[in-house]
Homo-oligomer: A and B are copies of this chain.
């Protein structure tokens, strides 16, 4: 799809303004001279563009010019800064049984959040939209923000989403996630909602604030209950034609794996098996009900043989998973993420060790520090990306009286 807009002189100003805004987003308060150096524009043009952007409220001019940077000779420079308060974005994690909404400013700083459990049996019901809307309203309230300030929303769902943001119902189950959320929130709130697969958002999130910071070729494996992955290649998400790229169902055919259960699930299952087989283990103290994954990890840390055996098996399994993915896609880094990542750090060394058996040039492996919030962090990043791409076309809400 080539751009159909003909080249007009106004296009130049757009390009210039985009370059200036991009630089401002990556910097704190800057002078016109700074912008000139970064963009290559002349002073006259830079000033014109900045005043344009101030008028459109994407940046603000600071008053107390000399307070920055200590003594300086010559006429004091005007200073400009990104207007973080131009609006907010929402990042949503829409899980089977829980909805989380995070409010973020344009720099990515979290201003508020809200999280509420949801009855899994009502996953596909119409009430779901109202529920999500209510969680969003609560999150905005906790941030002291108005629904009118929302510039973009990104929601992560556990279903395939193609690159146009449509849920692809390849199986009936996925259809439950095609909630009609986008038209509904557009109509009632005026919000632009982007949908994305949760593992893909995990990849976006971890590349932004996690272990993969700044790495262009990375695979993030969500590994808690079920295995799923998000693939970034050359700094872009890989979606596939119907949004299911990163699906790991092929593991059914991989020796030593055979299914797509995640680390937390298997740790529980194998712990239960050990108890049933009357193996001597300190895990028994947590029984006779369900033994949680974290309990297995801490028992292993205490030297429990059964727990250590489970970790061994998990590490070998994950090495096979990482090995197959990394061979096919050649990422610079493979990240293991999700709620279980908080305790899965001890798996890192054995996974790395075993990986050598399965690949000729092993990829680097890391565990994400983002834990459970990896999806919402990615959703915020996705929404911010949208705003940054489209900022010159977006309408900002009128300033509230307090803003002056």
Contacts and interface: CB of A to CB of B under 8 A. Distances in A.
Interface of A: 2-9, 11-13, 15-16, 19, 22, 39-41, 45, 160, 163, 170-171, 216-217, 233-234, 236, 238-250, 252-256, 320, 323-325, 327-332, 358-361
Given A233-B233, A254-B253, A256-B253, A328 B245 contact: yes
A325 B328 contact: yes
Contacts of A45: 6
B7 A9 contact: no
A135 to B, nearest CB: 31
A399 B399 CA distance: 62
A327 B16 contact: no
Count chain B CB atoms within 10 A of each CB in A13, A22, A247 and give the residue with the most. Answer: A247
A253 B9 contact: no
Given A19-B2, A41-B7, A253-B254, A328 B248 contact: yes
A330 B244 contact: yes
B9 A9 contact: yes
A323 B22 CA distance: 42
A19 to B, nearest CB: 7
Contact of A247 (B160, B241, B246, B328): B328
Contact of A329 (B6, B171, B240): B240
B250 A327 contact: yes
B320 A249 contact: no
A249 B327 CA distance: 7
Given A327-B250, A328-B328, A233 B242 contact: no
Given A9-B12, A247-B327, A253-B256, A238 B241 contact: no
A45 B7 CA distance: 10
A240 B233 contact: yes
B41 A6 contact: yes
A240 B330 CA distance: 5
B6 A361 contact: no
A238 B233 contact: yes
Nearest to A162: B330
A161 to B, nearest CB: 12
Nearest to A332: B241
Contact of A243 (B239, B247, B330): B330
A395 to B, nearest CB: 24
A391 B234 CA distance: 24
A254 B359 CA distance: 14
Nearest to A245: B330
Contacts of A7: 12-13, 15-16, 19, 41
Contacts of A3: 19
A334 to B, nearest CB: 11
Given A244-B327, A250-B359, 8 more contacts: A7-B41, A160-B330, A233-B239, A233-B245, A240-B331, A242-B332, A250-B323, A255-B255
Contacts of A245: 233, 328-330
Contacts of A15: 7, 11
